[in-house]
Amino acid sequence: MYRSAVRKPLITGKKDLHDITVDISRPIETSANKWWWSLFIVSAMAMLWGFGCIAYTIGTGIGVWGLNNTVGWAWDITNFVWWVGIGHAGTLISAVLLLFRQQWRLSINRTSEAMTIFAVMQAGLFPLIHMGRLWMGYWIFPLPNQFGPLWVNFNSPLLWDVFAISTYFSVSLVFWYMGLIPDFAMIRDRAVKPIARKVYSFLSFGWSGKAKHWQRHEVMSLVLAGLCTPLVLSVHSIVSMDFATSVIPGWHTTIFPPYFVAGAIFGGFAMCQTLLLIARKVVSLEDYITMTHIEYMNIIILVTGSIVGCAYITELFIAWYSGVEYEQYAFLNRATGPYWWSYWAMMTCNVISPQLMWFKKLRTNILFTFIIALFVHIGMWFERFVIIVTSLHRDFLPSSWSMFSPTFVDIGIFVGTIGFFLVLFLLYARTFPVIAQAELKTIVKTKSSKYNKN
């Protein structure tokens, strides 16, 4: 008789319930290790450099960027879509795995939800900076301006972005905070310092762990997960319509909404993987973020990477099948024109490199996983760069063709947002429980190596 192999435990190190409480609260109650300080210092320096470049841009004008009349959407919108894509998958990972009752989500859901919040914050910076006048930012909201009864254009997909992203951010923030409440109560009950006790007591909203509290918590979690899932599909679909509703060759295509959604999930899972590997090291969670979690994430990266590769091939086929010479030239220019290196970097990082995950020995190697995740980040950034820059720098009129080259300000702002993102994540890892310990305890007897005799 065939007997299936026993699954590896989701918790290693023979942990009991008390061990989980101690381990999850340790990063908050003790001083940081050298890994945390090293990464924090580097991230803070990058963040400060970025803030300086933003201040220089606001004081001087967006002419300090490398954009021109032809490539009006340059690095800033490329970075905006890249960050939205990363934030896009975070809540999806948690919400969908919750709806499907996947227990391995319990070690990764908190990190993925935090990733959403911090990534959307970075994305929101770029449209404001691109406006040139931050103090006019309220004009993008559906309010009449002070010069008369002039409203925003509700037909514009740029306005749809405002509604979709702000709604997604709000729901994701509530979903994230709901999960944190029981853990805040745990830190409150363990706090020694009076100030810490008062802060976490306020954050926990009077949580006492009663059956009624848990019942309401579970119901609200399911409701918010159900709300987040369709929002995930809508947000990046709407972002894709910024391009798809135009007449620029290479943009006006109906495949963009599912293509952007698949790419965002692909890039978001890779970023979640990166943060999980960082969290394992900087807050010592190797027993809870195990090789099993890493392998499952790598399998999802493999699947979504294959979907993205299929979308790339579909784009090329439709351009050829359409018979439209402008469309055909747009894709020929991407692959063989002046920016050919960016196109092939995108194809290599997004399509070829994830296929190495078919090999179990590679997808269970931590260093290899980290490198592939970085490759995916690079590839997804180049995807947005290829879509935006190579479609704009050569359009219908050869007389208006031009090249785009970033300046040190473009580079500085982008690097600064990466630093800002990591600073927020590292501070979060030192002040909030990175793993949902209360939920993790529900599986300890069946999923811990202490109780797994096989």
Nearest C-alpha neighbor of 297 from the set 346, 242, 232, 366: 366
- Decide if 391 is inside a domain: yes
Question: In which domain, by residue range, is 388 found?
Answer: 20-443
- Phi/psi for 11 (5° steps) reads -130, 125
Indicate whether 15 belongs to any domain: no
The answer to whether residues 89 and 268 touch, using CB atoms and an 8 Å cutoff, is: yes
For the chain, how many residues are written?
454
d(Cα 346, Cα 250) in Å, to the nearest integer? 16
Decide: 217 and 182 in contact? Cβ < 8 Å. Answer: yes
Q: Is residue 201 a part of any domain in this protein? A: yes
Contact yes or no for 260/312 (Cβ under 8 A): no
Burial 262-292 (b: 16+ CB within 10 A, else e): bbbbbbbbbbbbbbbbbbbebbbbebbbbeb
Contact indicator for 289, 280 with CB cutoff of 8 Å: yes
- Residue 86 inside a domain? The answer is yes
In a domain, residue 4? The reply is no
Report how many domains make up the chain.
1
pLDDT tens per residue, the chain (454 residues)?
Answer: 555 555 677 777 777 777 888 888 888 888 878 888 999 999 999 999 999 999 999 888 888 898 888 888 778 888 988 998 888 777 777 777 777 777 777 777 888 888 888 998 898 888 888 877 777 777 777 666 665 556 777 777 777 878 888 888 888 888 888 888 888 888 888 888 888 888 888 888 888 878 888 888 888 888 887 887 787 778 778 888 888 888 888 888 888 888 888 888 888 889 888 988 888 888 878 888 888 888 888 998 999 999 999 999 998 898 888 888 888 888 898 989 899 999 999 999 999 999 999 998 888 888 999 999 999 999 999 999 998 888 888 877 788 888 888 889 999 999 999 999 999 999 988 888 888 777 777 777 655 555 555 5
Instruction: With respect to residue 6, please indicate whether it lies within any of the assigned structural domains.
Output: no
Instruction: Please calculate the CA angle 195-180-218 and round it to the nearest 5 degrees.
Output: 140
Cβ neighbors of 42 (< 8 A, separation 6 or more) are: 419
Please state, in angstroms and as integers, the Cα–Cα distance from residue 74 to each residue in 2, 27, 132, 298, 304, following that order: 58, 40, 14, 31, 27
- Whether 2 maps to a domain, the answer reads no
Q: How many CB atoms within 10 Å of residue 80?
A: 26
CATH of the domain at 171: 1.20.1630.10
User: Do the domain assignments include residue 3?
Assistant: no
- Distance, in Å, from the CA atom of 117 to the CA atom of 168, rounded to the nearest integer, reads 10
Q: What is the pTM of this model?
A: 0.88
